[in-house]
Chain A
Amino acid sequence: MTSSTIRPVEPGIRRARRGAVWRSRLTILAFLAPGLIGLSIFFVYPLLANFYYSFTRYNLVNPAQFIGLANYQFMFDGDRQIGDALRNTVVFCLVSVPTTLVFALGIAAVLARIRSGAGFYRTLFYLPTLLPPAATAVAFAFILNPGTGPVNAILRSLGLPQPLWFDDPDTSQLSLLMLMTWGVGNTIVIFLAAINEVPLEQLEAAQLDGAGPFRRFWSITVPSISPVLLFATITGVIGSLQLFSQPYIVSTVVGGSTQIGYPQNSLLFFTQVLYQQGFRYFNMGYAAALSMALFAATLIITIGMIAATRKSVYSEESS
């Protein structure tokens, strides 16, 4: 990866360019230097070091002590939090990724159909995406608070039941889902761009053949934006696996400063156990093992999804 041997463009290559044939190796290396150094120090080294730390007991004070697979053993049959965290993370991933993708695709599809104002709508749908998670989490903790929150005030005036939202373990994940769906603007923009690239001729041909709008969307638009759908699914899954800030802030705001996972561990996610173990209890070795598990899960899911959809997704070489 850090291979930095530089090769000038070989003369005689088809698109040999006069005057620009030979590049100074040193110049290229100098241009690349910040990236090579950064990638080595802040990505490759920590990745390798993390692997090592995961086999040690280390609390930052005493030297790291090799303990074999003990951390992994503890993960599988000692840690009483990890089961809840894993279940929450998987459930939330399985629910939130399809929900947000379908929602974004629906909005993008409608946006692609209107004649004017798409830019206006897109701007406003995009806006919440850019707001700080600390702000949106606090805002939702207020909006959904059962005592004075406007949502329950409206439900009350309509004579509808008023859930406890973030205060009830049965509805806390649903509340979090609402918060995350609010930040779906990014995906809308990406989908809208992809839909607008769908060849018009194909859609018109299908229309001439008598295909209705839903049929056209399903049979032409969806397949031709499949690479974008796949990419959005992968980033969505990775995003939900590393979800930290929103549930952490909601739990501390609603439940009190030390209540990770409030209420009743229903908002306890994998990364919060990692954070707590590593940076509150300073079990760095165990936190490293949890990181390894996250790393493995991300890798397996990503590669698995790419492999599983290889046949049905048209892919584009970007280099």
Chain B
Amino acid sequence: MTSVLARTVSRGRLDGSRQANSGARRRAPHKVLASVANHSILIALLIAFLAPLFFMVMTALMTDQQALTSDILPHPINWANFAEVFERIPLVRYVANTVLIAVSSTVFTVVSSVPVAYALAAFRFRGRRALWIGIIAAMMLPGQVTIVPLYVMWAQAGLVGTPLPLILPSLFGDAFTIFLLRQFFVSVPRAYIDSAHLDGAGELRVLWSVFLPMVRPAIAAAALFSFFSAWNDFFNPLLYLGSNQDWYTLSLGLAQFRTVYAVQWNLAMAATLLFVLPVIVLFFFAQKQFVQGIALTGIKE
């Protein structure tokens, strides 16, 4: 996913330079019309795409009374909703739980997936293809296919109701992360690794001091995807933490917020906004990481 994203960005640049040279064509009037049409379509769609976020923000700022009307713009603006959300639900605890789970599973996932992806990309060994197919299968198959025995496993270990079932598996690599990293890693020229070997460096040293510095953007991208998927996950927290309110994540807390506070959409939207805001902020910072990932895939060509 990221590698595709990465390639797009590099392509975008190529396209830009390509089209700059063909400036002569640009003056044709039908081209201008087509361009206006294209942008109009995109802007119209973009408005539709961003409207839900807009409505969310507007309602999050309404007073209780106004939220019971079908008004769209808030008047007066009621910032107190955000404070009230903190009073109504243990939001700080939800955030702490979610951060703990997302950060630890991201760190573990990356640390345990990097060597696997590196071995898949750099070494030849018997069973490599079988392992690769296994990883793709684990990535593609619906998670529900294995959920019963996994739940039984965690239940027998007495860990249902704790966040450990969400964290411990990440110590042993994640199929999607391994897949993503391996796709990046194969684009690094062998010459770098080989010359490090010539200098007498051991495998671990080659990985740590030669290879890793070169693939830092790929690792950043993999870490971001891993973080987002843990942060956004609903099914697994529902399964393993649904019975224990002390360990509720933001997803769980938000999903049952409305059920508890029947009609207060303004508070529900304020809570939702508090939940998505970090994601949006992180996403805009992450843009840079994606672009950096490209320089790496560009080496291949």
Partner-B contacts on A (CB < 8 A) = 1-7, 9, 17-20, 23-25, 27-28, 30-39, 41-47, 49-50, 53, 58, 60, 107, 110-111, 113-119, 121-125, 127-128, 130-143, 145, 147-150, 152-154, 156, 182, 186, 189-190, 192-194, 196-197, 200, 234-235, 238, 241-242, 244-245, 248-249, 252-253, 256-257, 271, 274-275, 278-279, 284, 287-288, 291, 294-295, 298, 302, 318-319
State in angstroms the CA–CA spacing of A213 and B92 once bound together: 54
Contact A193 B52 (CB under 8 A): no
Q: A25-B125, A291-B147 are in contact. List 14 more A-B contacts (CB 8 A).
A: A3-B127, A5-B127, A46-B146, A107-B45, A123-B287, A132-B251, A134-B275, A139-B52, A192-B8, A249-B255, A274-B144, A284-B151, A291-B148, A295-B141
Q: Which of B137-176 contact A (CB under 8 A)?
A: 137-138, 140-153, 155, 169, 171-175
> Which residues of the partner chain B approach A117 to less than 8 Å between Cβ atoms?
39
State in angstroms the CA–CA spacing of A46 and B135 once bound together: 15
* Any A CB within 8 A of the CB of B86: no
Nearest-neighbor residue (CB-CB) of B252 within chain A = A134
State in angstroms the CA–CA spacing of A140 and B259 once bound together: 15
Nearest-neighbor residue (CB-CB) of B138 within chain A = A43
State in angstroms the CA–CA spacing of A56 and B271 once bound together: 43
Q: Which of B9, B138, B140, B269 contacts A142 (CB 8 A)?
A: B269
Contact B148 A43 (CB under 8 A): no
Nearest-neighbor residue (CB-CB) of A200 within chain B = B18
The 9 closest A-B pairs by CB, nearest first: A38-B172, A242-B142, A35-B116, A46-B146, A3-B127, A49-B149, A31-B119, A34-B112, A153-B70
CB distance from B65 to the nearest CB of A (A): 11
State in angstroms the CA–CA spacing of A142 and B53 once bound together: 11
Nearest-neighbor residue (CB-CB) of A20 within chain B = B197
Contact A38 B72 (CB under 8 A): no
* Any A CB within 8 A of the CB of B56: yes
Contact B231 A150 (CB under 8 A): no
Nearest-neighbor residue (CB-CB) of B146 within chain A = A46
Q: A32-B131, A47-B146 are in contact. Are A131 and B232 (CB under 8 A)?
A: yes
Contact A189 B52 (CB under 8 A): no
Q: A107-B45, A253-B255 are in contact. Are A196 and B12 (CB under 8 A)?
A: yes
> Which residues of the partner chain A approach B234 to less than 8 Å between Cβ atoms?
132-134, 244-245, 248-249
Contact A150 B70 (CB under 8 A): yes
Interface centre among A30, A32, A45, A189 (most CB of B within 10 A): A32
> Which residues of the partner chain A approach B219 to less than 8 Å between Cβ atoms?
none
Contact A190 B1 (CB under 8 A): yes
Contact B4 A125 (CB under 8 A): no
Contact A130 B18 (CB under 8 A): no
Contact B12 A298 (CB under 8 A): no
* Any A CB within 8 A of the CB of B239: yes
Contact with A along B270-294 (1 / 0, CB 8 A): 0010011001100110010000000
Task: Show 24 residue pairs from A and B whose CB-CB distance is below 8 angstroms, ordered by the A residue.
Answer: A9-B124, A20-B197, A34-B112, A34-B172, A34-B173, A39-B175, A114-B35, A114-B42, A115-B35, A127-B283, A132-B231, A132-B232, A142-B59, A142-B265, A143-B52, A145-B265, A186-B1, A193-B5, A196-B8, A238-B141, A244-B235, A248-B234, A279-B151, A287-B147
State in angstroms the CA–CA spacing of A24 and B125 once bound together: 11
> Which residues of the partner chain B approach A190 to less than 8 Å between Cβ atoms?
1, 4
Q: Which of A49, A53, A143 contacts B55 (CB 8 A)?
A: A143
Nearest-neighbor residue (CB-CB) of A24 within chain B = B203
Contact B203 A23 (CB under 8 A): yes
* Any A CB within 8 A of the CB of B28: no
* Any A CB within 8 A of the CB of B299: no
Q: A138-B254, A145-B265, A241-B142 are in contact. Are A17 and B239 (CB under 8 A)?
A: no
Q: A132-B276, A140-B52 are in contact. Are A42 and B119 (CB under 8 A)?
A: no
> Which residues of the partner chain B approach A248 to less than 8 Å between Cβ atoms?
234, 238
Interface centre among B34, B42, B53, B145 (most CB of A within 10 A): B145
CB distance from B25 to the nearest CB of A (A): 10
> Which residues of the partner chain A approach B279 to less than 8 Å between Cβ atoms?
130-132
> Which residues of the partner chain A approach B68 to less than 8 Å between Cβ atoms?
148
* Any A CB within 8 A of the CB of B24: no
Contact A42 B172 (CB under 8 A): yes
